[in-house]
Structure 1
């Protein structure tokens, strides 16, 4: 008789990730406060597609007595019903002087997308595709960007940025390209724990002291030569990809210059799970796989 484990139904889920950075960053507690702020404010953000909106639906702490151990939650996507979406069959027109009498907490056609978040590394691991539906990584990115730009957020938290995590394999392929003619690292104000012992707190302090939001470092090859990036430069590039963007110009197989950017390679990770696995365990597993637990340097 076949092992029942292998007979259990499976399905593939698709994951991406985001690096969220808030300023000033005194302790990881600020990220717990941020998500609780979103939940309390009940932001309903239009996605830009049809009449779809997104909202933070729930937060579930892995350890209620220690919120810094992380949590998982869900965004809910729903359709915002408008009178213009209806037709009066008697007239063939949109009803005039008519409104939908639906309570504001009642939403139509909800779909849930799950994520996990660990405050100490401030990374969001997001489920782009599950058994119910799919969502674009840009829709999720813009949801958070719009919240970061609201007056209420700025009043409480000051400022913040969010970037899509990129495929590390693709980033390495750019950095290790042996025919690089030019490379640019566009870095938004990172937290020191991102760069660790590579640059310690130098970049953050350098930008903060000068009230700068970001900086660009560029390297251009000598005439007739290609760049030869050193190991530390490659490490810097990996970190910059999480906190901004890496752009490069290289010579392709046709000996023509070609531009490339890490923005073109968002993390898109398929993962096979048994259908019986709980949402919590699914998210714990994928978070550990995509962002392994490591000692975070305290700031």
Structure 2
């Protein structure tokens, strides 16, 4: 039997102030309150389970993110046989229980409270941007967030995309957006930006550089540090000229994807997912320090 492939992506979830226990409490409340977040279109998501994993080498909490289709039953209905709007008496016969939702899909997720990273399965039909949107809405719901300030949710992005930006033959425009990081993630670079934003009571920092006419940008070390930080805490957008002509690159369109292969006969899917989560978390913290 050919091995099965599993792909995962990662979100960075940050609060200020923050402790591992505080992050865990956020997810426990999200599950308890059954808060729903819009993912895309009519598809919504909910944290349906959340419990501590039995993993020994890293603290992980695992669960399921369930998505489903929700719609306004009072909106116009279509009678497909007649090809026209359904009559009021036809719609009146439709009874939809409030606690039943159609088109359910389920994805594994794992949360590492020490690094506040949320790893989720991509094979369930929800992409990285959809999950990011849903989790941002869920965790910032007043029932979940409580008295905390805004919970920031960002996509962990490929470092290779940033390399492509800095390797452009002519870099004409560079925009870096960084939200306030947790200073214990990656050392001095995080601490410096975190203190700078805190002093100015700022939630995020945006740096925009445009080149002189007929010239290309030459980003210095400080700009490159800020861009690296944005791979976990923001995004970078660039315009310039590459080997094949004009280019526009947004790192947000290139999430970090972890891929693992497993034998479905000998390995349970949830076990394979936990292994994939550990591998991608290792990748995040190895690449960012390079």
TM-score band, normalised by shorter chain:
0.7 to 0.9
Aligned match for 2:201, one of 202, 211, 217 = 211
Does residue 12 (structure 1) correspond to residue 5 (structure 2)? The answer is yes
C-alpha deviation, 1:227, in angstroms: 3.5
Tell me the TM-score normalized by structure 1: 0.78
3-state DSSP of counterpart to 1:266: coil
**Corresponding residue for residue 118 of structure 1:** 112
Q: Structure 2: which 5+ residue stretches go unaligned?
A: none
1:23 & 1:274 partners in 2: Cα distance?
41
Aligned match for 1:151, one of 134, 142, 145 = 142
Aligned match for 1:24, one of 17, 26, 31 = 17
Alignment CA distance shift 1:101-1:233 (3 Å): closer
C-alpha deviation, 1:150, in angstroms: 2.5
Whether the aligned pair in 2 keeps the contact of 1:179 and 1:250 (CA below 8 Å) is: yes
Does residue 270 (structure 1) correspond to residue 259 (structure 2)? The answer is yes
Whether the aligned pair in 2 keeps the contact of 1:57 and 1:74 (CA below 8 Å) is: yes
Q: Structure 1: which 5+ residue stretches go unaligned?
A: 1-7
**Corresponding residue for residue 250 of structure 2:** 261
1:228 & 1:48 partners in 2: Cα distance?
38
C-alpha deviation, 1:290, in angstroms: 1.5
Whether the aligned pair in 2 keeps the contact of 1:62 and 1:69 (CA below 8 Å) is: yes
1:88 & 1:226 partners in 2: Cα distance?
58
Aligned match for 1:242, one of 217, 227, 232 = 232
Alignment CA distance shift 1:225-1:116 (3 Å): same
Does residue 192 (structure 1) correspond to residue 183 (structure 2)? The answer is yes
1:218 & 1:88 partners in 2: Cα distance?
52
1:111 & 1:225 partners in 2: Cα distance?
50
Does residue 102 (structure 1) correspond to residue 88 (structure 2)? The answer is no
Residue by residue over 1:171-190, the C-alpha shift from the partner in whole angstroms, topping out at 9 and shown as x without a partner, is 22223434323323211111
Which has the higher mean CA deviation after the structures are superposed, 184-193 or 55-64? 55-64
Residue by residue over 1:57-100, the C-alpha shift from the partner in whole angstroms, topping out at 9 and shown as x without a partner, is 11131249x9x8111111112344747769799x9645354562
**Corresponding residue for residue 3 of structure 1:** none
**Corresponding residue for residue 43 of structure 1:** 35
Alignment CA distance shift 1:248-1:194 (3 Å): farther
C-alpha deviation, 1:55, in angstroms: 1.1
Please give the root-mean-square deviation of Cα atoms over the aligned residues, in Å: 3.3
Does residue 136 (structure 1) correspond to residue 127 (structure 2)? The answer is yes
C-alpha deviation, 1:36, in angstroms: 0.5
1:173 & 1:271 partners in 2: Cα distance?
25
Whether the aligned pair in 2 keeps the contact of 1:19 and 1:164 (CA below 8 Å) is: yes
Alignment CA distance shift 1:43-1:24 (3 Å): same
C-alpha deviation, 1:127, in angstroms: 0.7
C-alpha deviation, 1:287, in angstroms: 2.1
3-state DSSP of counterpart to 1:271: strand
Tell me the TM-score normalized by structure 2: 0.81
2:263 & 2:157 partners in 1: Cα distance?
26
1:93 & 1:12 partners in 2: Cα distance?
47
2:163 & 2:107 partners in 1: Cα distance?
30
